[in-house]
Amino acid sequence: MLMGAPLMAVPALANDKLVELAKDPANWVMTGRDYNAQNYSTMTEINKETVKRLRPAWSFSTGVLHGHEGTPLVVGDKMFIHSPFPNTTFALDLKDPGRIIWQNKPKQNPTARTVACCDVVNRGLAYWPGDDERGALVFRTQLDGHIVAMDAETGETVWMMENADIKVGATLTIAPYVIKDMVIVGSSGAELGVRGYVTAYNVKSGEQVWRSFATGPDEDILLADDFNAPNPHYGQKNLGIETWEGDAWKIGGGTNWGWYAYDPDIDLFYYGSGNPAPWNETMRPGDNKWTMAIWGREATSGKAKFAYQKTPHDEWDYAGVNVMMLSEQEDKEGKMRKLLTHPDRNGIVYTLDRTNGDLISADKMDDTVNWVKEVQLDTGLPVRDPEFGTRMDHKARDICPSAMGYHNQGHDSYDPDRKLFMMGINHICMDWEPFQLPYRAGQFFVGATLDMYPGPKGDRQNALGLGQIKAYNAITGEMAWEKMERFAVWGGTMATAGGLTFYGTLDGFIKARDSDTGDLLWKFKLPSGVIGHPMTYEHEGRQYVAIYYGVGGWPGVGLVFDLADPTAGLGSVGAFKRLKEFTQMGGGVMVFSIDGEGPYSDPNVGEYIPGSPT
C-alpha cells in the first residue's frame, strides 16, 4: 500500500517479515516506520475534523533527563522505549502500559559522557522478527560504543559487541537498523577526529559481516567494481586518499549517525557520511572524499554502488548524515523514477535516482542559503560563493546555514498522496573563525569558534524565529506552504492519510498542521521540549499518536549543561539562549488518542487484585 506499484519485476529479496509487519498499521517496526522511511501512516481515524479532540491517553517517564531523540517502536502488544545515557530499554504492555514488562539497564563507563559532542542522546531501537531458530530481538546502541541484542520477550541480553572505543573519542548515538539477518551500526565522533565507518553484524551471533569506512583506501571504503559507473564525474577510484594531503584521512571524520533507508528490490541501502575533521578547513586541503556523501550500498556485501559528495571540502560542519526518504514519482519528463530525497545540513534538498545515483534535483530549502550560488545538475558541483567560505586568519560572517544546518537530525516525512515532503527546518546563520590545534586521540579536534543567531527571516534582536516547517515537492521544487516557528524544528515530522502533519517543538508542544495548507489545527503542551519524531499505531481498533518529550541535543546543550558563554556548545548556546524561558529538561513518552480513550477508559484495568503477581 505504501510501496505503490513495483517498478521492477524482481521478487523482493528481503526475508522480509519486517516489510510484512510494517504493512499493518498496528506496528511501527523501525525508524521511519518502514524501509521507505516516509514516517507516513495510512490511518485516518485522526484527521482534519477529529484532531481537535486529540487528548493524552497515557504517559510514561523514562526516569532520566537529557535529550530524548528518536521514537518508540510498537510491535503487536508491546511498545519498546529507549532513553539517553545510560540507554535503558523498556518494554511496555499496550493493554496495560502502567506495567513495565522488562527493562534492560546497562552499566556504562561514565567517561563516555565526556566524549559526546552534542548531549548524550540516542536515536532509537531496531527490531528483528525472529525465525525458526530464534525468537524476536531488539537491538540497542550504547553511548560507550556497544551494540546489544536483547530478547524481545524477556529483555535478556543475547549478545553485546564492541563497535566504537570511547578512548579514541568514538561513541554511538545512532539507532541500529535491521536488514535481512544483519544489524547495521553507524558511528559518531568527527568532532574528535574519528574516521567514520559503518558495520554490519549477524543478528543472531553478533559476528561482523562487513565494515566500510568513509575515507582512505578503496578496499577500506568497500567500492563495487562498477562504483559510480553511471556517473563517473562524481569521482570513482582512489579518491579516499587523493583528495587528502598525506595521512590526514586517518582522522578525517565522515561518521554516520543519521538515518538509513533500504530498497529490498535492488538490495541497496542509503545513508549519508558526516563532516570531515577538523572543522578548521585550512588544516585539510582537498575535497576530503568520501565525507559528506550520499551512499547507495549493497546490503549483502556492503559494497558501494554509488556515492555523491554534496559538500566537497566542507568549511561549515554541514555533516551530511540527514534523513533519506524514498518515493516513486514521475520526473519532469514524465518518467517514473525510484527516488531518494534528502534535506541536507548545507541548506539543499537533494533528490537522486536511487537505482544509480543520478541527480534529479537540488533545491535550496530557503532562499537565504548563501554559501552556494547553485548546484549544477549536470556536473553535480556546488558553485561556492567565496565570500561565505571559511579560512584561517579570517572571521567569516553571516554564513547561512550555520553549522547546525538549515536541517539537522530530525526524521521527516513524505505524504505519497500529496507528493509532499514535510520538512522541519532550522533558520540559523553564523560567524566562524578557525584556529590551529593538534590532534590527540580522545580529545576534541574542532578548531573553530562560532557565533550563531537567527537567519534573516527571524528576529536577531530577540534571538527568536529560529525554525520553519515547509511542504516541498521534489520534482517541481516548489513549497506548497511554509510557516515560521519560534525555535528550530529539530525532531522531524510525521504525515498521515488523515491530511495531518504532526511534529514536536523545542518549546514543548506537539502540533498538528493541515497537510494541504499548513494551517495549525491542534497543539498540546508537553512537559518538555521535543527533539524526536512523532509516531502512530493502532491498538485494539484505536489510533494513537506517541511522541517523546525531553529537550536536549545540540540546541539544548546550553540549558542542559548550564552554559552561558554564547560560543560554548560549539556555538549553540548563544543561538538558543531564550530556550530556558520556555522549557526545562524532562524525559518520557506521551500517547494521544481521540478523546483520550485508551486502555484505562475502564478504570478497573490494571488495578491491584489481591493474590495476583501483577
Partner 1 sequence: MKLISCAVTALLALAAPALAYDGTNCKAPGNCWEPKPGYPEKVEGSQYDPQHDPAELSKQGDALAAMDHRNAWRIWHMKTTGSFEYDVRKIEGYSETELPKVN
Strand-by-strand arrangement of the 535-539 sheet: 54-61, 588-594, 542-549, 535-539
Q: Which stretch binds partner 1 (CB under 8 A): 266-274, 286-294, 522-530, 588-596?
A: 286-294
Among 45, 298, 385, 538, binds partner 1 (CB under 8 A): 385
Exposure letters 252-283 (e unless 16+ CB within 10 A, then b): bbbbbbbbbbbbbbbbbbbbbbbbbbbbbbbb
CB-CB contact of 553 with 583 (8 Å): no
422 binds partner 1, rule: CB under 8 A: no
Residues in the chain: 614
Which residue's CB is nearer to partner 1, number 287 or number 433? 287
Among 436, 460, 595, 607, binds partner 1 (CB under 8 A): 436
| Distance of alpha carbon 415 from the chain centroid | 18
Rounded to whole angstroms, the Cα distance separating 212 from 531 reads 29
Q: Which residues are annotated as a binding site?
A: 69, 123, 173, 189-191, 255, 275, 317
Instruction: Show Cβ contacts of residue 512 under 8 Å, excluding neighbours closer than 6 positions.
Output: 51, 54, 500, 501, 502, 520, 521, 522, 523
Which residue's CB is nearer to partner 1, number 61 or number 379? 379
Task: Report the candidate in 235, 425, 454, 414 with the shortest Cα–Cα distance to residue 346.
Answer: 425
Among 206, 456, 477, 596, binds partner 1 (CB under 8 A): 206
Give me the least distance between CB of 102 and partner 1, in Å please. 17
Give me the least distance between CB of 346 and partner 1, in Å please. 12
141 binds partner 1, rule: CB under 8 A: no
CB-CB contact of 64 with 14 (8 Å): no
Look up residue 33 and give its amino acid: R
Query: Is 220 marked active-site?
Result: no
Distances in Å between the Cα of 555 and the Cα atoms of 271, 489, 539, 574 are 23, 10, 34, 10
Task: Report the candidate in 353, 338, 360, 323 with the shortest Cα–Cα distance to residue 38.
Answer: 323
CB-CB contact of 369 with 459 (8 Å): no
Give me the least distance between CB of 381 and partner 1, in Å please. 5
CB-CB contact of 142 with 124 (8 Å): no
Which residue's CB is nearer to partner 1, number 167 or number 395? 167
435 binds partner 1, rule: CB under 8 A: no
Which residue's CB is nearer to partner 1, number 130 or number 286? 286
Give me the least distance between CB of 128 and partner 1, in Å please. 16
Q: Which stretch binds partner 1 (CB under 8 A): 21-29, 280-288, 469-477, 569-577?
A: 280-288
Q: How many residues bind partner 1 (CB under 8 A)?
A: 60
- Which of 265, 267, 314, 317 is labelled catalytic? 317
243 binds partner 1, rule: CB under 8 A: yes
473 binds partner 1, rule: CB under 8 A: no
Kindly report whether the peptide bond that precedes residue 230 is cis, defined as omega within 30 degrees of 0.
Answer: no
165 binds partner 1, rule: CB under 8 A: yes
Grid cell of 544 as nine digits: 494513537
Per DSSP, the chain holds a count of helices (H) and strands (E) of 5, 38
106 binds partner 1, rule: CB under 8 A: no
Give me the least distance between CB of 279 and partner 1, in Å please. 13
Q: Which stretch binds partner 1 (CB under 8 A): 8-16, 156-164, 536-544, 562-570?
A: 156-164
Which residue's CB is nearer to partner 1, number 298 or number 385? 385
99 binds partner 1, rule: CB under 8 A: no
Catalytic residues: 317
Would you tell me which residues interact with partner 1 (CB under 8 A)?
145, 157-163, 165, 167-168, 170, 194-195, 197, 205-208, 232-236, 239, 242-243, 245-248, 250-251, 282-287, 289, 309, 312-313, 376, 379, 381-387, 389, 391-392, 436, 438-441
